[in-house]
Amino acid sequence: MKELINKVRHGPPKIRIGKKGITENIIKEIKSLLKIDKTIKIKCLHVIPKESVEAIAQNIVRLTNSNIIELRGKTIILQIKN
């Protein structure tokens, strides 16, 4: 499991959240990627204030039935709940 998290941490983000924020399509894409990959990296772009990233991560977790593995700066690593 730790290897998978390290691979995701050092790889490119699968999802980028921009000025539109969390849309229905982004949630669908996250759910789809979590089913396939189990762990994904999400990057909030520069237009998202750093103070908002934690709230965004919590909303994504609630909407996708996942867990936050890591929240660092504007990068979120999520893992699907078992």
Tell whether the model's pLDDT for residue 82 goes beyond 80.
no
pLDDT, position 74:
97
β-partners of residue 44 are 17
β-partners of residue 80 are 66
pLDDT, position 21:
93
Tell whether the model's pLDDT for residue 36 goes beyond 90.
yes
Which DSSP state fits 13?
Answer: -
E-strand ranges in 1-82 read: 15-17, 39-44, 66-72, 75-80
- The candidate with the shortest Cα–Cα distance to 25, out of 65, 46, 33, 55, is 33
* CB-CB contact of 71 with 57 (8 Å): yes
User: 2-80 architecture in CATH?
Assistant: 2-Layer Sandwich (3.30)
Domain ranges of the chain: 2-80
As a whole number, mean pLDDT of residues 48-76 equals 96
pTM: 0.93
As a whole number, mean pLDDT of residues 59-65 equals 96
